[in-house]
A and B are shown apart, each in its own frame.
Chain A
């Protein structure tokens, strides 16, 4: 009987380049408090957010993806047609099918594999894990991973618990072969028993009737059980972070940057404390200006920290994403 021939990919992988795109419209806390009963001080102390970016109608998930991808490709020094696969993580591409990734692939000039994943705010780290494994398995030489969201389209501006939180944006990385280990083992999982803690108000195919029979029901929007999600993210994600360090064989003091998903500064504070992160290790805090744009927060923060010199190229960074599902993923990477 014939034996199937197998393929071998690269022994090691790394992030070769990162690029980001933030939309042009700045939404300040002063604007947000015209929608909800709150204050600039309340929003800042609860979340760390001073402003967020919302896309114009032209700044679609496709446009933001292509913009961030172009920068990541340029930084990596490869062209679109060299991409063997494109993974897009998003919850705000409002077509159940086909995937946004196919449109991105077409714009970048590749016929490589292209698909979307739905892993909420953990999506970028999920994508990095998949891409790294694909390169190691020989399924693709170069893989583009994009996290892109227009959460403004899913934000109920009259919901006091979430109206101030969300933003739009895109971040992309190119992952390819490396001479030395550049992407550590992923620690990931799902806790489906907490499915209802972050959800949308109703499914796309089951829009409820308006109670008074007149106004159309708005939405669906994102809803969140703040306390439950905060507890899970602040405490259980600290354990996941520690596991990712252990799997990579390093300690917190070996890190050159900590880039957690930008969900809330208070979650970040708690993670920093439990990790015992030395004070000199820079921590991503882009939530102050970008808000929480889900799958895009980590690559956007990475790009920013490299650009402003906060984090060194080649340095080790701990990434952790966590969100709707609930799902999570963490890994140590060498910065491009």
Chain B
């Protein structure tokens, strides 16, 4: 069954906390990865690869460039989840 937006956000927040060391409470839909959460471009790749594994989605390099906020990432995963 497809995950809800809230479920994806909760799981993604855990990934961001583990990979980037950002408090998961900070990981909210309106936050930008680079500006607000200080996730640099290489750490973003690590977040993306962990998310691919967790959610079973493919997030190609071209798509990564468009994921500037947490909401963008949650939306992408929700739309593309199996």
A interface with B by C-beta (< 8 Å): 45-46, 225-228, 230-231, 234-235, 264, 266, 270
Contacts and interface: CB of A to CB of B under 8 A. Distances in A.
B41 A227 contact: yes
Contacts of B61: 225, 227-228, 231
- The 8 closest A-B CB pairs, nearest first, are A228-B61, A231-B45, A230-B42, A230-B45, A227-B45, A266-B42, A227-B41, A227-B64
Nearest to B62: A228
- Most chain A CB neighbours (cut-off 10 Å) among B46, B61, B64, B65: B61
Given A225-B61, A227-B61, A228-B61, A46 B42 contact: yes
Given A231-B45, A231-B61, A235-B49, 7 more contacts: A45-B40, A225-B61, A226-B42, A227-B41, A227-B44, A227-B64, A266-B42
17 contacts: A45-B40, A46-B40, A46-B42, A225-B61, A227-B41, A227-B44, A227-B45, A227-B61, A227-B64, A227-B65, A228-B61, A231-B49, A231-B61, A234-B45, A234-B46, A235-B49, A270-B46
* Secondary structure dominating the interface of A: helix
Contacts, number: 26
Contacts of B45: 227, 230-231, 234
Interface size for chain B: under 10, 10 to 19, 20 to 34, or 35 or more residues? 10 to 19
Interface string B44-81: 11101100000000000100110000000000000000
Interface of B: 40-42, 44-46, 48-49, 61, 64-65
A228 B63 CA distance: 11
Contacts of A231: 45, 48-49, 61
A45 B38 CA distance: 12
- Most chain A CB neighbours (cut-off 10 Å) among B41, B42, B48, B64: B42
A46 B44 CA distance: 12
Nearest to A47: B42
Contacts of A230: 42, 45
A266 B49 CA distance: 15
A43 to B, nearest CB: 12
